[in-house]
């Protein structure tokens, strides 16, 4: 592989690049102000402030009587390693109604001539932070949640325009953003929210300064007031924090079981939660029919998570062979990212850069272990604090081809991620099949110039190569209509 000049920003470790205290004086509202109070007014303001209230014709959601017929397309169904024969695909409402190599009666549907282009599922990202792309850490902690949600709304539209029709949000107050998108107030991807990252005192996610210690009982830090993280130091506190996120609408729960590259108080090698604390989270989530994911780079944090009943590990770049084998034997999901350079850590100190180099060095070993033990693995990017890096979201799939074929990489970012999303069970905010082109599946579709199975770099340039972007049966980008 040739070297690249762009930088990746490892999200979870990047969260800790902050130097802002926890004073609530930054916020013009009480910490008890409802986090969902922005919704309709937020969406209306966002359309004005962020410049997508008047989308071009190509970006206008199309109704077309509720039906669209794609004719003469080659289908990548999200599972196969080859494109189909020339086919026709009928979308009715928000689902795929029929797929056939023979003619389909359009019956009043809008007809789109695919001209032999590739029709594929919308891309998905299993580790995303919807609220934490365009704002810096200082801006997040020093602004009210309404302003940062407006920024996130703009990024949500940009995410959809990159062809990512579904994301799993792995930490942040994204509930209002998700609701506004789901209600059609603004364009954006489907969001599977985790809510606040749950951590321990001094753990990854505790962003207080040392002068904020000791912490009085009942006192909340600034990031907790905003819903970005929650600190819990006993099984009972963990249960409370998990139940709060479930009450807010989390589809899955996220705990930080170990340190991060640039965590201010928890180095990369540190294990944080006890097994009993992790189990309390698993039990509380299980009572709601869903599951727990843990941020964990090292073998000890992964092993402890598995012992407690955690069903999905995030990252795991520093695990050993025995731990990889354990993940496979127990049928645990791995949600990881192809970190191939030190990214945003280049702006940090020597110690943080050294730790990120450990993670980057572990990436090759991790994916080789994944292939060796056939671990169930999801694709995500974990980008934070950089709109420029987010614009290269699709490049993560290109990077993944260091270890996988283009077809394998695209399968991971479509149907495999869809299987992970479906594990939310009754907490699934979007019942239906995601990540596949099948009859009855949700109609999240991309019409691509060219064959991404032959040239995966097509997905890294969505502006040029994605001619149509459809989510939930509605067309949000259509350059064929121009």
Residue 31: pLDDT band (50, 70, 90) is: very low
What's the rounded mean pLDDT across residues 205-221?
71
What is the model's pLDDT at position 223? 67
Of 172 and 219, the structure prediction assigns the larger pLDDT to 172
Evaluate whether residue 310 is within a structural domain.
yes
In the predicted structure, residue 342 carries a pLDDT above the cut 60: yes
Evaluate whether residue 5 is within a structural domain.
no
What's the rounded mean pLDDT across residues 260-284?
87
Residue 449: pLDDT band (50, 70, 90) is: very high
In the predicted structure, residue 186 carries a pLDDT above the cut 50: yes
Let me know whether 334 and 391 are in one domain: yes
CATH code of the domain containing 68: 2.30.40.10
Let me know whether 321 and 470 are in one domain: no
Of the chain, the percentage scoring pLDDT greater than 70 comes to: 82
Return the biggest CA–CA distance within the chain.
71
Residue 213: pLDDT band (50, 70, 90) is: low
What is the model's pLDDT at position 19? 33
Evaluate whether residue 33 is within a structural domain.
yes
How far apart CA 199 and CA 395 sit, in angstroms, is 31
Let me know whether 164 and 68 are in one domain: no
Residue finishing a domain among 427, 450, 470? 427
In the predicted structure, residue 445 carries a pLDDT above the cut 90: yes
Contact at 8 Å (CB) between 206 and 152? no
Let me know whether 354 and 469 are in one domain: no
Evaluate whether residue 6 is within a structural domain.
no
Determine the structural domain holding residue 327 and report its residue range.
Answer: 11-45+123-427
Residue finishing a domain among 409, 427, 445? 427
What's the rounded mean pLDDT across residues 106-119?
94
CATH code of the domain containing 228: 3.20.20.140
Residue finishing a domain among 404, 427, 450? 427
Let me know whether 92 and 236 are in one domain: no
**What token pair was written down for 224?**
């907790």
Let me know whether 89 and 219 are in one domain: no
What is the model's pLDDT at position 269? 86
Let me know whether 292 and 314 are in one domain: yes
Alpha-carbon Rg for the chain, nearest whole angstrom, is 22
Evaluate whether residue 52 is within a structural domain.
no
Residue 219: pLDDT band (50, 70, 90) is: confident
Q: Which of 311-320, 350-359, 384-393 ranks highest by mean pLDDT?
A: 311-320
Evaluate whether residue 4 is within a structural domain.
no
How far apart CA 316 and CA 366 sit, in angstroms, is 7
Contact at 8 Å (CB) between 71 and 114? yes
What is the model's pLDDT at position 181? 97
Residue 85: pLDDT band (50, 70, 90) is: very high
Residue 17: pLDDT band (50, 70, 90) is: very low
Let me know whether 270 and 215 are in one domain: yes
User: How many domains in the chain?
Assistant: 2
In the predicted structure, residue 65 carries a pLDDT above the cut 70: no
Let me know whether 367 and 347 are in one domain: yes
In the predicted structure, residue 225 carries a pLDDT above the cut 70: no
What's the rounded mean pLDDT across residues 96-115?
94
Evaluate whether residue 51 is within a structural domain.
no
- This prediction's pTM: 0.85
Let me know whether 411 and 453 are in one domain: no
Lowest mean pLDDT among 2-6, 187-191, 224-228: 2-6
Let me know whether 278 and 378 are in one domain: yes
What is the model's pLDDT at position 60? 46
Let me know whether 113 and 147 are in one domain: no
């Amino acid at each position: 592989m040739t070297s690249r000049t762009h930088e990746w920003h490892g999200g979870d470790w990047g969260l800790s690049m902050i130097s802002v205290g926890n004073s609530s004086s930054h916020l013009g509202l009480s910490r008890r102000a409802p986090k969902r109070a922005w919704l309709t007014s937020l969406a209306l303001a966002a359309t004005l402030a962020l410049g997508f209230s008047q989308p071009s014709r190509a970006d206008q959601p199309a109704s077309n009587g509720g039906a669209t017929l794609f004719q003469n397309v080659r289908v990548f169904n999200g599972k196969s390693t080859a494109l189909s024969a020339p086919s026709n695909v009928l979308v009715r409402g928000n689902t795929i109604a029929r797929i056939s190599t023979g003619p389909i009666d359009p019956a009043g549907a809008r007809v789109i001539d695919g001209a032999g282009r590739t029709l594929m599922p919308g891309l998905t990202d299993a580790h995303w932070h919807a609220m934490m792309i365009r704002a810096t850490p200082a801006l997040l902690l020093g602004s009210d949640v309404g302003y940062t949600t407006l920024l996130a709304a703009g990024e949500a539209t940009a995410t959809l325009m990159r062809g990512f029709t579904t994301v799993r949000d792995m930490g942040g107050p994204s509930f209002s953003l998700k609701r506004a998108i789901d209600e059609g107030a603004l364009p954006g991807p489907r969001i599977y929210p985790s809510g606040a990252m749950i951590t321990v005192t001094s753990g990854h996610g505790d962003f207080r300064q040392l002068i904020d210690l000791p912490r009085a009982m009942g006192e909340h830090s600034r990031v907790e007031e905003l819903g970005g993280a929650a600190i819990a130091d006993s099984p009972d506190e963990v249960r409370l924090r998990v139940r709060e996120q479930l009450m807010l609408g989390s589809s899955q729960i996220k705990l930080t079981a170990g340190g991060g590259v640039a965590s201010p108080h928890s180095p990369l090698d540190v294990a944080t939660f006890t097994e009993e604390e992790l189990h309390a989270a698993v039990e509380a989530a299980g009572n709601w029919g869903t599951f727990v994911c843990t941020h964990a780079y090292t073998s000890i944090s992964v092993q402890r998570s598995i012992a407690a009943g955690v069903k999905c590990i995030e990252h795991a770049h520093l695990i050993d062979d025995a731990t990889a084998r354990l993940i496979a034997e127990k049928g645990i999901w791995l949600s990881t990212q192809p970190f191939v350079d030190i990214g945003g850590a280049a702006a940090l100190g020597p110690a943080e850069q050294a730790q990120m180099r450990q993670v980057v060095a572990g990436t090759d070993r991790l994916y080789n272990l994944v292939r060796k033990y056939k671990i169930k693995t999801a694709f995500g990017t974990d980008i934070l604090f950089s709109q420029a890096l987010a614009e290269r979201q699709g490049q993560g799939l290109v990077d993944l081809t260091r270890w996988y074929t283009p077809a394998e990489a695209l399968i991971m970012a479509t149907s495999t991620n869809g299987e992970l999303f479906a594990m939310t069970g009754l907490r699934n905010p979007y019942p239906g099949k995601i990540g596949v082109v099948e009859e009855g599946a949700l109609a999240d579709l991309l019409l691509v110039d060219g064959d991404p199975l032959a040239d995966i770099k097509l997905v890294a340039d969505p502006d040029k190569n994605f001619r149509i972007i459809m989510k939930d049966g509605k067309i949000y980008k259509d350059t064929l209509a121009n």
